[in-house]
Structures are given as C-alpha cells and as structure tokens.
Structure 1
Amino acid sequence: MLDDFIIRAALAGLGVALAAAPLGCFVVWRRMAYFGDATSHAAILGVALALATDLPVFAGVLGVALAMALVISTLAERQVGTDALLGVLAHAALALGLVAVSLIDGVRVNLESYLFGEILAVTVADLVVIWTGAGLVLALLVWRWQALLTSTLSPDLATASGIAPKREQLILTLALAITVAVAIKVVGALLIAAMLVIPAATARPFSRTPEAMAAYAVAVGSFAALGGLAGAFTFDTPAGPSIVTAAAILFALSAVVAPLLTRQPR
C-alpha cells in the first residue's frame, strides 16, 4: 500500500499536521510567529550543510534550525529589538542558504523542492523520519504540557511553582527545530511557519480549553493537508502551496462562522 505515492503523500501531510498543529498553539499563544518563520528559513542553510558534508538532509536541517532558534532566544534576552532581529536573521539565513547551495560543486539541487516542498516525492524512508519526528514532538508536548502552559500564561507564576520558564522555552525550541526538519519535504522552508500558525489560529475561536484548541488545530491541519493534496491533483497546482492555501481558506471560513456561533440571541 505504501508504494502508492498518493497514500505516501497523504501520510506525510498528516504527520506534519500532527506535529505542527499542537506546537503551533504555543507559537500563537506566545506570539512567536516570526520566531517560527526565522527558524524555518534557516532550514535552507541546513540543506546546504547536509549536501556539503554528505549528512542526511534531516540532520543538517535539524542542527541549523536548532542553532538558529537558540541564537534568537539568546539575543532576544539581551533586549535586542525582537522584530528587527527576527527580520534580519530570517532573510539572512535564507539568502546565505541559497548562496551556499549554489556554491556546492558537483551537486545539482532542485531548490524549489526545498523552498515549497515536494510531498509527492516522499519515500517510505521519509515517512519514517516524518512520523518519528512527529512522535518526538508530541511526546515532548505531552510530557511538558502543564509546565509549558503555566510558563506561557505567567512566567512569574511558573517560577513560583518551581517551573523554569527558560527550560520550557528550550523545550519549545527543540520541538520547533524537529518540526521544521520533518516538514521541509512536505511544505518547504517558506511555508512551514504557515502550517504552524494557520491551523492554531483557525481553531482558536472555537476552543474553550487549551487542550481543545490543540485537538481542533490537528483536525484543521489534517483537513488542510488532505484537501490541499486533493486540490493539487484536481487543478494541477503545486502540492505544498495548495496545502497552505487550503489552510488559509479554512481560516477565512472560521473568521466568518465564529462570530455567528458566538452571537447572542436578542
């Protein structure tokens, strides 16, 4: 069954949704959208590193994404202008990655597959990497869920409760790096941040608890992955951007429906 590329693509999309959607809730709650964007853009530099050193692409992307996230966290603590810092690092990392890839001799690279994803070319080995990474992200979030929530809502309360906010930030950073590494084959470096933010933002108006929001976000992300693939086959469009487009359509629908559901009868 896994020899069917359509099924492999669907499983890859579901794996990415499973990892990105609940993590995206913390990205939304902590207003870390630009943080995720900068980390995902650094993935191209990780691709260049992997190609230059004959490492697996997953290892190169994971290492550089984690390094970028740690650099951003460290500089942000020194009261460097966060918005400007993220803007500089995001674009610099992307540009450096593209230049580095072009300078590697003897390697022909389809940059579009790393920028926008190549989900239809996912192999069984890629599926193992994607679902293993998704499992690690989910395990981290489940293990530290309450501590992450507390440190997100109130760092002072977390400290008083014996929780170290910086440690929880590092756990989120690790989870984000893993998600970027597993998602690059599916939606590409330029669109990973969208799969973190859009499903969570779509689920937010309908959720009464953090756990419900995470569950709804997974549902939205999964539906977007499958719907985007269906749209790509129907309209002959790129699969990665089609998945993000489907997620954006769901967000637009939620913006229309949510006020109607919450409107009080006269």
Structure 2
Amino acid sequence: MSLLDSFFIRAALAGLGVALAAAPLGCFVVWRRMAYFGEATAHASILGIALSLSFGTSIFAGVLALALLMGWAVSALSGRGYAMDTLLGVMAHSALAVGLVTVSLLQGVRIDLMAYLFGDILAVSRFDLAIIWGGAALVMALLWWRWSALLTATLSADLAYAADINPRREQMVLTIALALVVAVAIKVVGVLLIAALLIIPAAAARPFANTPERMALIAAGIGAFCAIGGLQLAYLYDTPTGPTIVCLGAACFAGASLLNLLRQR
C-alpha cells in the first residue's frame, strides 16, 4: 500500500504545498497593500471554473487563464479615472457574480459549488497533488529568481528605475505568481478563502521579522502549521476543512498581535 493511498496524507501534502507557496508571496501582498488585488484575482477564478466546465477543459487551466486576465485588466485600467480599490471592487464582484450565474446555467453538468467556494481538500487526488506541487514549485522558483528585483520595486519605483529594474515588469511577475497560487489553492481552501491564506500568515509573521527573508520564512512556517493543524482540527471536530485552516490562521494572527503588544509594553 502506497503512502499516497491515504486521503489524509494527500490532503496534508496538498495543504503544505499551497501554504509554502502562498505565504512568501503573501509577504509581497502585505508589503504592497495588494490584499484586495489578491481577493479580486481569486473571485475571478469562479468564472474560470464555469468556463472550463462549459467547454470541457481543465479547471486548473481555466482558473489560471482568468486569474491572469483579471491581473492584466486591473493593471491596464488602473490610473485611468478610477481609484484602484473601486476598480478592484467592481471587477472582483462582477467576475464572481457572472461566474455564479454561468454555473447555474450549465446543462447536464453536476457541480459541487460549495467545494469550489470553500475548498474540498479531503477529495484531493494524486493528479491534483501533482498539479498543486507543480504550481507551488513554479511560484517558489519565480520568487527565488526575482526576489531582489521584487524587493527593490516594492521599496520604491524610483529606486527600481535607478537600479535598471522595471516596476511594471515586477508587478506582472507578482500577477503571474498570484494567478498560479489561486489556481492551485482552489482545491484546498476554495475561492472565498484564498486571500486569507495569502495574507494571514504574512501578517502574523510581520511582528517577529527584522528582514524580508526572515518574514517570508516565518510566514511559510505559520502557513504550514495552519494547513496541517487545521486539517487535524477539522478531522477531530468534524468541521469544514478550509474554513478551519483559516480560523487557525486567524488565531495565530491574534496570538502574534498580542505577543507583539506585550513586547512593546
């Protein structure tokens, strides 16, 4: 009997893969104040799911394409008469609404909408696991390759130009990484909770880090703890797994904030 024959082992590996990719990327989301951008990208994925089911194509490919399209559209339309938060709000909720309506109109296709909205990590197959770890490896490799340039562009656009770095190119790198994380995280925490998996570990790690690299490593550790611990708690108390993972992350953030407050006093 193979170790991967156990649904619990597959679920744990899936959660670990997503957490290790999402947490370091989430640091850039926090530093750049891109939380709403991450949420908009995640909401667009439900439309990608609907279109994939309509045309009988891979859900991973559909979600990735729509997430990339959302990122490109926001980047192209920003600064053209609308505030960024307004633009993100309109596009995120429009994509989510259109996706839900499209799903309801599908004929002859059975779909568990709750699994896509809140995740179904216990149903991860070996193929899903390969997709998740493949996507996570691409995200981690992308961050490793562009780490210095991304940090410079995050600190200051003027500093980036002085160092011969194009800030818009680095923004596109982040958009691609976000799209990959959204595509692989659908199965683990679902569309509505992906942004939480990006932001909460990074926010919890921030008080304990004095360098960007340290913050990314601590965030990855917190994300991995939340994924494995949330899975265990969901199994023990028979609760929804995706929301339980996020609840444990919220508890980590509350504990980190309290410890930071006590340390400051």
TM-score using structure 2 length: 0.98
Aligned pairs for 1:43-192 within 5 A = 43-192=45-194
Which structure's residues are more often helix, by fraction?
Answer: 2
| 2:261 aligned to which of 251, 259, 262 | 259
Map of 1:230 onto structure 2: 232
Among 2, 5, 9, the residue aligned to 1:3: 5
May I ask how many residue pairs the two structures share in their alignment? Answer: 263
What SS does the corresponding residue of 1:11 show, helix, strand or coil? helix
- Deviation at 1:74? 1.3
Instruction: Out of 254-263 and 19-28, give the one that drifted further.
Output: 254-263
Superposed CA deviations along residues 86-128 of structure 1, whole A, max 9, x for unmatched, are 1111111111101111111110100000000000000010000
- How far 1:234 moved relative to its partner? 1.3
The CA distance in 1 between the partners of 2:177 and 2:80, in whole Å, is 23
One-letter amino acid of the counterpart of residue 87, structure 1: G
Post-superposition offset of 1:260: 2.5
Paired amino acid for 1:260? L
Question: How far off is 1:261 after superposition?
Answer: 3.2
Secondary structure at the counterpart of residue 4 of structure 2: coil
Alpha-carbon distance in 2 for matches of 1:245, 1:63: 29
Q: Where in structure 2 are there 5+ consecutive unaligned residues?
A: none
User: 1:79: how far off?
Assistant: 4.5
Structure 1 range deviating more: 69-78 or 191-200 = 69-78
Deviations 1:172-216 (A, max 9, x none): 000000000000010000000000000000000000000000000
Name the residue aligned to 1:201.
Answer: 203
Q: What is the CA deviation profile of residues 55-109 of structure 1, one whole-angstrom value per residue up to 9, with x for unaligned ones?
A: 1110000000110011111111324211111111111111110111111111010
TM (norm. structure 1) is 0.97
Match of 1:39 in 2: 41
Counterpart-to-counterpart distance in 1, 2:66 and 2:4: 31
Q: Report the counterpart of residue 219 of structure 2 in structure 1.
A: 217
* In structure 2, C-alpha distance between the alignment counterparts of 1:234 and 1:90, rounded to whole Å: 35
* CA positional deviation for 1:54: 1.0
Q: What is the root-mean-square deviation in Å for CA atoms of aligned residues?
A: 0.8
Secondary structure, in 3 states, of the residue corresponding to 1:166?
A: helix
State the partner residue of 2:244. 242
2:29 aligns with 27
User: What is the identity, as a one-letter code, of the residue corresponding to 1:252?
Assistant: A
Measure, in 2, the Cα distance between the counterparts of 1:5 and 1:221. 20
Note the C-alpha offset of 1:259: 2.5
Deviation digits for residues 5-46 of structure 1 (CA, Å, limit 9, x no counterpart)? 000000000000011000000000000000000000011000
- Structure 1: unaligned runs, 5 residues or longer: none
Following superposition, the deviation at residue 235 of structure 1 comes to 1.1
SS at match of 2:78: helix
Say which SS state the counterpart of residue 190 (structure 2) adopts. Answer: coil
